[in-house]
């Protein structure tokens, strides 16, 4: 069983690299890139709820139905993941203002992704790895926890700036302040930090697979979104702003 799990996980990571190459050519059709050629459009708030709530359900199901003893470290991993996804699936959609409708195909893809991602990480924590009680004193655990919290703050603060723009004006405008001074997508930057941090904390291939998938989804989207800003706002757009890594990309 464990062998099948590891082979599937390697395959899952290979699919992430193929997804990255695809998304560099075709941006996922939601938000700024939404279009109806990808199937019936549904309400984005409903889409976000359905496609994201399955992630903590899947993780907790596979983790808690497994036989491993759950140490403090394991409970912290489960809690951080669940808190992140309670924000993403419930609080975030409730706060969104007039988001673009989303093709049903995007919600279905994301739903399937979240089941696999929940399985790979949940099964690892529930049936493969037992973290000792003193794991919480390991440097990678402490560093990962701090980085996860920093990533979450950057992600939520940046999303809040976009939500505030939408609350005051219709349509898309140039976001200002905080990390928008340096990059067009600090919300994605923060999210990527979070899952790199999770991989460091858990020191696992399953955690690394999620970090790679997050980069595959959000890296190309930031590059395309940055080009979109430059074309829409032309010389009004801050020319020294990068897409997702300050001063670099
Ligand atoms: N882990 C992952 O793989 C993953 C994948 C996708 C998303 N996420 C996370 O989910 C969150 C949302 O992602 P997203 O792709 O929807 O982010 P986004 O494109 O930055 O949009 C976020 C929200 O702000 C609005 N908005 C965007 N740019 C705006 C602007 N310039 N002016 C006014 N309003 C603007 C959008 O409205 P519209 O809907 O009208 O565009 C949307 O409601 C992010 O925190 C992201 O990190 C994670």
Residue 244 lies in a domain: no
Residue 194 in tokens: 């979070």
Residue 1 lies in a domain: no
| Range in 24-33, 55-64, 181-190 the model is least confident about | 24-33
Q: What is the pLDDT of residues 227-237, one digit of tens each?
A: 999 999 999 99
Quickly count: other Cβ atoms within 10 Å of residue 87's Cβ. Answer: 17
Residue 39 pLDDT level (bands cut at 50, 70, 90):
confident
Residue 248 · residue 223 · CB < 8 Å: no
Residue 37 pLDDT level (bands cut at 50, 70, 90):
confident
pLDDT above 70 covers a percentage of the chain that reads 100
Please give the full DSSP string across 38-100, using - where no structure is assigned: GS-EE-HHHHHHHHHHHHHHHHHHHHHTS-S---HHHHHHHHHHHHHHHIIIIIHHHH--SPP
Neighbouring-strand partners of residue 102:
42
Mean pLDDT (the chain) is 97
Beta-carbon-side half-sphere exposure of residue 60 (alpha carbons within 13 Å): 15
What pLDDT, on a 0 to 100 scale, did the predictor assign at position 35?
85
Tell which one of 84, 106, 159 to mutate to probe ligand 1, the residue whose CB is within 8 A of the most ligand atoms. 159
Residue 125 pLDDT level (bands cut at 50, 70, 90):
very high
What pLDDT, on a 0 to 100 scale, did the predictor assign at position 1?
84
Residue 207 lies in a domain: yes
What pLDDT, on a 0 to 100 scale, did the predictor assign at position 17?
98
Ligand 1 pocket, residue 159 CB under 6 Å: yes
Alpha-carbon distances of 222 from 94, 149, 205, 213, 214, rounded to whole Å: 24, 22, 25, 14, 12
**Residue 242 DSSP class:** B
Ligand 1 pocket, residue 32 CB under 6 Å: yes
Ligand 1 pocket, residue 31 CB under 6 Å: yes
> Residue 242 — φ and ψ, nearest 5°?
-100, 180
> Residue 77 — φ and ψ, nearest 5°?
-60, -45
Q: Which domain holds residue 52?
A: 6-236
Ligand 1 pocket, residue 187 CB under 6 Å: yes
- What is the average pLDDT across 15-28? 96
- What is the average pLDDT across 216-237? 98
Ligand 1 pocket, residue 173 CB under 6 Å: yes
Nearest CA to ligand 1 atom 18: 31
Alpha carbon of 31 to ligand 1 centroid (Å) = 7
Residue 129 lies in a domain: yes
Residue 174 lies in a domain: yes
Element (H, E) at 109: helix 104-123
- What is the average pLDDT across 23-43? 92
Tell which one of 92, 160, 172 to mutate to probe ligand 1, the residue whose CB is within 8 A of the most ligand atoms. 172
Nearest CA to ligand 1 atom 29: 172
- What is the average pLDDT across 49-61? 98
The per-residue b/e assignment along 102-137, b for 16 or more CB within 10 angstroms, e otherwise, is bbebbbeebbebbbbbbbbbbbbbbbebebeeebee
Residue 248 lies in a domain: no
- What is the average pLDDT across 100-114? 96
In whole angstroms, what is the distance from residue 54 CA to residue 91 CA? 15
Q: What is the pLDDT of residues 126-157, one digit of tens each?
A: 999 999 999 999 999 999 999 999 999 999 99
Nearest CA to ligand 1 atom 14: 31
**Residue 174 DSSP class:** -
Residue 124 has pLDDT above 90, yes or no: yes
Q: What is the dihedral of CA 113, 183, 139, 81, to 10 degrees?
A: -30
Residue 242 lies in a domain: no
What pLDDT, on a 0 to 100 scale, did the predictor assign at position 161?
98
- What is the average pLDDT across 216-223? 98
Ligand 1 pocket, residue 217 CB under 6 Å: yes
Nearest CA to ligand 1 atom 45: 187
Residue 27 has pLDDT above 90, yes or no: yes
Alpha carbon of 226 to ligand 1 centroid (Å) = 13
Q: Please give the model's pTM, rounded to 2 decimal places.
A: 0.96
Residue 26 lies in a domain: yes
Number of H helices, E strands in the chain: 8, 2
Nearest CA to ligand 1 atom 30: 172
Ligand 1 pocket, residue 172 CB under 6 Å: yes
The two most distant CA atoms of the chain are separated, in Å, by 59
- What is the average pLDDT across 52-60? 98
Residue 17 in tokens: 């690299």
Domains of the chain: total: 1
Contacts of 47 (CB under 8 A, 6+ apart): 30, 102, 104, 106, 107
Nearest CA to ligand 1 atom 44: 187
């Amino acid at each position: 069983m464990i062998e099948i799990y590891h082979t599937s996980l390697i395959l899952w990571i290979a699919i992430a690299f193929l997804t990255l190459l695809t998304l560099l050519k075709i941006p996922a059709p939601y938000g700024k890139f939404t279009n109806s050629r990808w199937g019936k459009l549904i309400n984005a708030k409903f889409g976000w709820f359905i496609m994201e709530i399955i992630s903590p359900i899947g993780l907790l199901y596979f983790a808690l139905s497994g036989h491993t003893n759950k140490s403090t470290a394991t409970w912290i991993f489960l809690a951080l993941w669940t808190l992140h996804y309670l924000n993403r699936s419930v609080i975030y959609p409730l706060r969104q203002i007039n988001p673009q409708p989303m093709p049903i195909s995007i919600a279905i893809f994301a739903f399937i992704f979240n089941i696999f991602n929940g399985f790979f990480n949940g099964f690892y924590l529930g049936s493969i790895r037992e973290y000792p009680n003193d794991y919480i004193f390991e440097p990678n655990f402490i560093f990962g926890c701090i980085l996860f919290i920093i990533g979450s703050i950057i992600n939520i603060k940046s999303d809040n700036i976009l939500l505030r723009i939408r609350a005051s004006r219709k349509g898309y405008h140039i976001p200002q302040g905080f990390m928008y001074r340096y990059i067009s997508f600090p919300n994605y930057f923060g999210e990527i930090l979070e899952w790199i941090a999770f991989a460091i904390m858990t020191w696992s291939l399953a955690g690394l697979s999620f970090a790679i998938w997050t980069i595959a989804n959000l890296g190309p989207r930031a590059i395309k979104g940055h080009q979109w800003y430059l074309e829409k706002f032309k010389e009004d757009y801050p020319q020294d702003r990068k897409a997702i890594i300050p001063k670099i990309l």
